[in-house]
Structure 1
Amino acid sequence: MSAVLEKPEQKPAARSGRWIDHWEPENPEFWEKSGKKVARKNLIFSILAENLGFSVWVLMSIVVVSLGSVGFKFTIGQQFWLLIVPNLVGATLRVPYTFAVPKFGGRVWTTISAGLLLIPCALLIYAVTTPGTPYWFFLLTSAAMGLGGGNFSSSMANISFFYPEGKKGLALGLNAAGGNLGVAITQLVVPIVITIGTGINLAYAAVIWMPFIVLATACAWFFMDSLTQAKPDGQSYKLALSNKHTWVMSFLYIGTFGSFIGYSFAFPSLIKISFVDYKGWVALAFLGALIGSVARPLGGWLSDRIGGAKVTLVTFVGLGLGTVGVMLSVDVKSFPLFFGSFIALFVLAGVGNGSTYRMIPAIYSAQTDDIKSAKRQAAAVVGIAGAIGALGGVLVNLVFKFSLEGSKTLTPALIAILFFYGACVVTTWWFYLRSRVFARVPSLAYAGV
C-alpha cells in the first residue's frame, strides 16, 4: 500500500479512512508495481456488494409468483406493479448514488449502500409472516427493494477510476456481470430455500441474504479504498448533460440493460401466466439472468477488440430476431421456442450491456485531450445512462402489464418492443457507424467506439 499512498500530509483536508491520493493507472510502471493489485482488490469487494444489491432488487420477481400460495391473492395488474415499483425506485436512485461516490468515497458509500439492503429484507419478513398484510405494505416493501438497484451506478462509477483505459472494458464488464449474477442467484436459490420445511416459507427469501449483507458491509469497510481523483464533479455533469452522446447512449442503454432487467423481473411471471402447463419451469427462470450476466464481460471484451458500436449494432439486430421468436412461440403455443427465445434475448442483452458501457469512456476520451475531464464526464454518464437505462425495465413490465390486461396476450407488447429495437439499430448506425461520422471525428473509430 505504501507504493500507492502519498505522505499523510498530502491527503485532502478533513478526510479520513483509506484514501489514495496518488493514482496513475495509465502509467505502466505504476500499474504493474502496485496499481493492478489495489484495483483488483477493490473490484472483488465491489462485485460482492453489487451482487447482493441485484439479489435484493429482484427478490420480488420470485416472491410474487408464490404469494397466492400463502394466501395473498393479487390480480395480474397488482402483481406487475410489485415488479415495476422496485425497478422504478432502483432506476431513480442511480443518479444520486453516483453523486454519493465523490461525496463519501467509494469505500464508505459501498459500506452504506450494502448495509441499507437489510431494510427491504426486514420489511419482506414482516409482510409475509403477518396475516392480512395490506397490498400497500407489499408495495412499500417492493419500493425498498429498489435500494439494491442504485448500487450499480455507484459501483461502476467508482471502479471506472481504478483501471486504465485499455483494461476498462473487461473490468467494468466483470463488475457489472458480477452484480447481474445476483439476479440469477436469487432466481435459482430462493425457489429452493422457500420450500425448506413444511409448505412455502417466503420469509426465508429474505433471511437467507442477511448474513451475506453483513459480510459485504464489513468487507467494504475494512478492505476497500477511496480515490481522491474519483470526482465526477458538477462541471463534469454539466458538460455531460449538454453532450448529445449522453442522451444517445442513455437511449441505447434502455435497449440493452432495460431489456435485461425488465425480462429478469418478468420472466418467472410470464412463464406462469402464458404457459400454465409449464409453470414448474419457473424454477429454471434463473438461466436467463445467469447466461445474460456471463455474457456481459464478453460484450466488453469484444468491444475492446472490434469496437463497441459494431457489437452493439449486431446485438440489437439479434434482439429483434429473438423478439420475433417469442412472438411465434406465443402464436403456436410452443414453450420450447418461448424459453429458448428468451434465453437468446438474455444473452444478447448481456453482450449489449458490455458493449454500450465500453462505448461511453471511448466516446468522451475521443472528444477531448484532457484525460481527467474525459474520465469524469464518462463517470457522470455512467450514472445518467444507468438510471435511464434501468427505466427501460419499467417500460418492459408496463407494456407486458397492459398487454396481458387488455388483450390477454403478449403479442402487442412484443410488437412494441420489436419496433424499439429497430429504432436502436438505426440510432447506433446513424451516430457511430456512418462513414461521414468517422470523417468528422476520426478518433472515435480508433477509440473503440
Structure 2
Amino acid sequence: MTQTLIREHPAARTRRGSRWIEHWDPENPEFWERHGKKVARRNLIVSVFAENIAFSVWLLWSISAAVLVAHYNFGFSAAQLFFLVAVPNLIGATLRIPYTFAVPKFGGRNWTVVSGLFLLLPTLLLVVAVSNPSTPYWAFLLIAATAGVGGGNFASSMTNISFFYPDRKKGLVLGLNAAGGNIGVSIIQLGLPVIVGAGGLFGLVAASAGGVDLARAGYVWGLLALVSAGCAWFFMNNLSVSLASFSEQIKVVRHKHTWVMSWLYVGTFGSFIGYSAAFPLLIGLQFPHVSIANFAFLGALIGSVARPFGGWLADRLGGARVTFWNFVAMAAGTVVVITAVNSGSWPLFLGAFLLVFVTTGIGNGSTYRMIPMIFQRQAVLEAEGAATETRDAALARGRTEAAAVIGLSSAVGAFGGFLVVATFGVLELLSDGEVATGSIATAFGLFLVFYATCILLTWWHYRRRTFMIQRAPNLSMVDI
C-alpha cells in the first residue's frame, strides 16, 4: 500500500523500507492538499485506535478495583485499593519519558506496533490475579503496575502525530488524538462491568446470574491489543523528518517553558487521569448506595469529549487565554465538589465533579496547543540573532523541540495523576483505614491550592502584558 502511495506522490520518498516516508512538508499548502492530508488522516485514525486501547489497559484497575470491592472477597482496605489504582499511573508516567524519545529513534509506526504488543502483559496477568482467590495483595500491586505500559503510549503517540500535521491544525488534531485515547478510560469503565457480568448501562444490562468473572476483561483487551498492533503494522508510516538524536531532544529541559507547561499540564491532564482513576472508588466509598457501573464512566467520557473542543477553542482564541480562564473554572468547580462531599449530596457531587472533568478536558486541549506555538516562535526569535540558521531550519528545530516537550510534559502530567490518587490513599491511611469524608474533602482542598498556582503561572508567563513588552517584544504570547 505504501509503495503505491509513493509512486502516486513523487514528493514522498522511502527510507529504511517501504514504511518510511523520506520527504514530509505539511506546511507547504500544495504538498498538504495533494499528498499529505490523506496520509496524515490514515495515521491519525490508527493512532487514535491504538491509543484508545492503551488507555483502557492503563486504567484497567480503576474499575477492576471497584469490582473487587463489590464482588470479590480479597479483604483489601480503602487505602490499599487507592494505591492499587495509583501504581499504574506512577509506572505509566515514568514510561512516558523513554516513550517520548522512542519515536525519533525508531519511527512512529514501528513503536506503535511494539508498544501495542506490550499491552498483552497486564491483560493476561489480570487473568492470573483474579483466577486465584489466594493471590496476595503484593502480587496484585505488581500486576497492576504492569498496566503502566498503557500509559506510556500517549507520549509516543502525541509526539508522532505532531509531525504529521501543519501548525495551524495542531490544536484540534492533537486534541482529537488525545481524546481518542482518553475515551479509552470511559470505555473500559463502562464496558468492563458489562463484559465481566456485573451489569451496567443504567440498568439496561442486568448482572449475570453466574456471577462476576474479571478474567474476561483480560482476554478481551488482550485481543484488542493484538488488533491495534496489527493495524499499526499494516496502515501506519514512519517519518524520516521525525528522526532526531537524544541529545537534540533533551536540550528542551534547559528551557523555562518546558517546565512551566509541564506544571500546567499536571493541573489539566494530571487531574483528568487522577480523577478518572479515583472516581469509581470515590463513588463506591463515599456513596455506597449508588451503582458504580452506571456512573463511573461519565467523568472520563465528558473530559475526553471536551479535549478536542479545548484545542479547537485555543486555535481560535489563543491557548493562553483559554487555559487561564479554564483554570479559574476548574478551581470554582472544585469548591463546589468540596461542598458536596461535606454535605453528602450525591446529585451536587456528580454535577460538580462532571464540571471539573469538562475543565480538565478543555485545559488538556488548550495547553497542548500552546506548546508547539511557544517553541516554534522561540526558535524563530533565536534564529534572528544567529546568521547561520535560516527561518526554515529554525522552524524545523522548533517542531522537534515541541514534540519532545509534548512527550515530557505528558510524563510530568501523568505523575500528577499518580499524586491525585495517592493523596486520597495517604489521607485514608491517616484516618486509620476508615472511609472519612473529611479526608476526601481535604484532598480536594489541596488540589484547589494547586489550581491557584496554575492560574498565577499562566497569567505571569503568557497573559501579563508587561512580560510581553519587556521580555519578548517580538513574541506575541497573547496568541499562543
- Counterpart of 2:302? 291
Distance 1:127 1:172 in 2: 36
Q: 1:314 to 1:232 in 2, by over 3 A?
A: farther
In the TM superposition, 1:70-149 aligns within 5 A as 70-149=72-151
Does residue 1:445 correspond to 2:476, yes or no?
yes
CA gap 1:89/1:7 in 2 versus in 1, 3 angstroms: closer
Structure 1 contact 252–424 (Cα < 8 Å) conserved? yes
Alpha-carbon distance, 1:16 to partner? 2.6
Instruction: After the TM superposition, list the runs of 4 or more consecutive aligned residues in structure 1 that deviate by more than 6 angstroms.
Output: none
Between the aligned partners of 2:310 and 2:244, the Cα distance in structure 1 is: 25
Corresponding position of 1:210: 222
Report the Cα offset of residue 4 of structure 1.
Answer: 4.5
Per the TM alignment, residue 438 of structure 1 is displaced from its structure 2 partner at its CA by 1.9
What is the alpha-carbon distance in structure 1 between the residues aligned to residue 474 and residue 168 of structure 2?
Answer: 15
CA offset digits 1:326-345 (Å, max 9, x no partner): 11001111010111111011
Which stretch shifts more, 263-272 or 226-235?
A: 226-235
TM-score (norm 1): 0.96
User: 1:196-345 maps to which residues of 2 (within 5 A)?
Assistant: 196=208, 198-278=210-290, 280-345=291-356
- Answer whether contact 1:294 1:350 (CA < 8 A) is retained: yes
Equivalent in the alignment of 2:387: none
* 1:157-214 Cα deviation digits (max 9, x unpaired): 0000000000111110100000000000001101111114511111112122122222
CA contact (8 A) 1:5 1:21 kept: no
Q: Shift of the alpha carbon at 1:447?
A: 7.8
Counterparts of 1:177 and 1:50, CA distance in 2: 9
For 2:83 and 2:275, how far apart are their aligned partners in 1?
15
Between the aligned partners of 1:84 and 1:415, the Cα distance in structure 2 is 19
Check 1:269–1:366 CA distance in 2 against 1; reply closer, same or farther (3 A cut): same
The aligned amino acid for 1:430 is W
CA distance in 1, matches of 2:192, 2:49: 18
Contact 1:318 1:348 in 2 (8 A): yes
How far the C-alpha of 1:70 sits from its partner, in A, is 2.0
Match for 1:73: what amino acid?
G
CA gap 1:4/1:93 in 2 versus in 1, 3 angstroms: farther
Contact 1:317/1:425, CA 8 A, preserved across alignment: yes
Q: Distance in 2 between matches of 1:244 and 1:197?
A: 58
Matched, 1:399 2:423: yes
Distance 1:241 1:349 in 2: 25
Deviations along 1:92-145, one digit per CA (max 9) or x if unpaired, are 000101111122111110001111111111000011012201112211211110
Within 1, Cα distance between the matches of 2:139 and 2:115? 22
Pairing of 1:379-390 with structure 2 (within 5 A):
379-390=403-414
CA distance in 2, matches of 1:264, 1:244: 30
Query: 1 CA distance for matches of 2:348 and 2:12?
Result: 62
Quote the offset at 1:43 in angstroms: 0.2
Q: Deviations over 1:228-277 (max 9, x none)?
A: 01024334334311000000000000000000000000000001111122
Tell me, what secondary structure is at the counterpart of 2:476?
helix
CA contact (8 A) 1:364 1:375 kept: yes
1:281 Cα offset (Å): 4.0
Partner of 1:375: 399
SS of the aligned residue for 1:179 comes to: helix
Match of residue 24 from structure 2:
23
1:412 alignment partner in structure 2: 442
Query: How far apart are residue 42 of structure 1 and its match?
Result: 0.2
Aligned to 2:202: none
- How much has 1:71 moved relative to structure 2? 2.2
CA 336–443 in structure 1, closer or farther in 2 if over 3 Å, else same: farther
Please report the RMSD computed on the Cα atoms of aligned residues, expressed in angstroms: 1.5
State the one-letter code of the partner of 1:80.
F
Unaligned runs of 5+ in 2: 198-207, 381-393
1:171 maps to: 173
Letter in 2 for 1:89: I
Match of 2:368 in 1: 357
Q: Which letter does structure 2 place at the counterpart of 1:83? A: V
